[in-house]
Chains A and B, each alone.
Chain A
């Protein structure tokens, strides 16, 4: 089972335009942006709850304005996700490598490699 397959599959060559499009579309839906957006929206909602009705907060928690604190923390966390995404985007070669190795992955999926 472990003989290295001689007819090893080739990489698919992508044109520059295809690569560009692939990189752009992959980065647009980066997981960090999705989580960041969710946290920012939650943060806004929770902060508003804290501003609108601070008395209920304090009554339930024994004096802690937990909605305000949690809301602001989630806003900051959401912002950090966006910052992280901006500072360290997914490397271009990772995105391209995955697309170019389609044939290799097919062979591996068929149990022909390894």
Chain B
């Protein structure tokens, strides 16, 4: 009975009501773009929402920007494949970094009034490091947008039967429209709306799924009888002892905490401008600091509507994963097909569509900012009036989306190469954290050290990765490889930066005011508004609360 309708791929049969909901969603997306456009008068409005956003909006956008299609489908896939160990990506791999960003790093970012993360690089380490960082960021973001677009097109084709090119053009087209109209505000407002629609789609799916497998205990029971699944799938930490790794994640606890938690997590959440940009758009220092802290709370609960469905899929259609008739990425679409009647079905499909667009919009809206301010204004056409940069921003958004679409079509031709490129891009973030944290703490660290440390931090994990491609027995799994690669990246940054610093000239201390810990004072209070002092808005309290929740949420899955 459970498996009765679990055949024939993941094609859904949408009724006109479901299509009506999809249509209403697209109309709302555009309406938000148009509403946001009225406030775009300057380039700062376009790229950083005129630094005017309240914390609840930037906080939810902070989470939503990361809730792209590959994230939701990929994490559900991990849930089906490696089980509760996937929690690490949400807890140790995200929340400590978000708390650190809000409590420690944001005062430097927001207080120094930089308009992008690469610009912080420029201030602290000068032009050479800045050029490398800006170009790496701009290129990787456009290409990642394209690769995700392709991943989305495959799923939409399988679910709705739209040809891939229709799916690519429609979703890229809407993203293009609402960002060229409303700029970052268009992206952020939509991200908040998309966040709620994604939740509204995934919650009923999880409830029905759990009902179908007779609750949590029923889920555990049926997982025990599934091929290739063991008790370790229900535990996040068991089997991660050093020298005794049996957990399906294939890494010991030290690699998880240091590699995933410290280097990858901190690299992604504290230095990836796609994320941090949301906090830069906050209306004042207090709101900017609270952005990642507010985002941490929904982040902690997302695994229960993403990873748990993955586990349900493993329990119910595990045989299809095993015989290859279904890929792990299709876990959520498969459950939607099996369990949701028309009506909720429309909400769930709209939610997936929303997540596809949220992820892409986040890439595009951070790409156009870095391209305009860090590349075009800094090196190609400086000293132009503001209107000029506003129009450059609109044009480069269009060009970026077109390049993204072209990348998506290329990805359709050369699928494997694109997967490799995506892995390569993932090497750009981890070293940035190493460079920034050393630069923040150590005033003697020189501009040359920043540049070479950063480059060494990109090269080191690339070497580890190539070694793994040639000899897969080096690491327990591809996931484990990324964790060890990240640790090597961090070590390379620290070693190379220290060595280069010993032989090169540091920046004069007066140029480091507000950029290095303990030099100059950070003005945290000049822009406070009424209400910032309320106890529930205290960054320290929010941060502590998030960390306590981290520990509590691990307890049932030790």
Contacts and interface: CB of A to CB of B under 8 A. Distances in A.
Contacts of B207: 64, 66, 69
A11 interface: no
A94 B283 contact: yes
A108 B44 contact: yes
B41 A35 contact: no
Nearest to B390: A109
B440 interface: no
Contact of B208 (A38, A64, A110): A64
B343 A45 contact: yes
B340 interface: yes
A102 B46 CA distance: 12
Interface of chain B, main secondary structure:
helix
Nearest to B190: A31
A109 to B, nearest CB: 4
Interface residues of A, number: 49
A49 B341 contact: yes
Interface in A29-85: 29, 31, 34-35, 38-39, 41-42, 45-46, 49-50, 53, 56-57, 59-64, 66-67, 69-71, 74, 77
19 contacts: A29-B35, A31-B192, A35-B192, A38-B25, A38-B193, A45-B20, A45-B21, A53-B341, A62-B211, A66-B340, A67-B341, A70-B203, A93-B529, A101-B50, A105-B51, A105-B386, A106-B42, A108-B113, A110-B386
B24 A111 contact: no
A59 B41 CA distance: 54
B341 A31 contact: no
B31 interface: yes
Interface in B204-228: 204, 207-208, 211-212
Given A31-B193, A39-B196, A60 B41 contact: no
A74 to B, nearest CB: 6
Contacts, number: 147
A2 B39 contact: no
B43 interface: yes
**Nearest 5 A/B pairs, CB to CB:** A49-B343, A114-B113, A109-B43, A106-B386, A105-B44
A23 interface: no
B511 interface: yes
B389 interface: yes
Interface string B107-121: 000001111000000
A103 to B, nearest CB: 9
Given A45-B21, A69-B204, A102-B42, A110 B384 contact: yes
Interface string B89-116: 0000000000000000000000011110
B343 A25 contact: no
A80 to B, nearest CB: 11
Contacts of B238: none
A114 B112 contact: yes
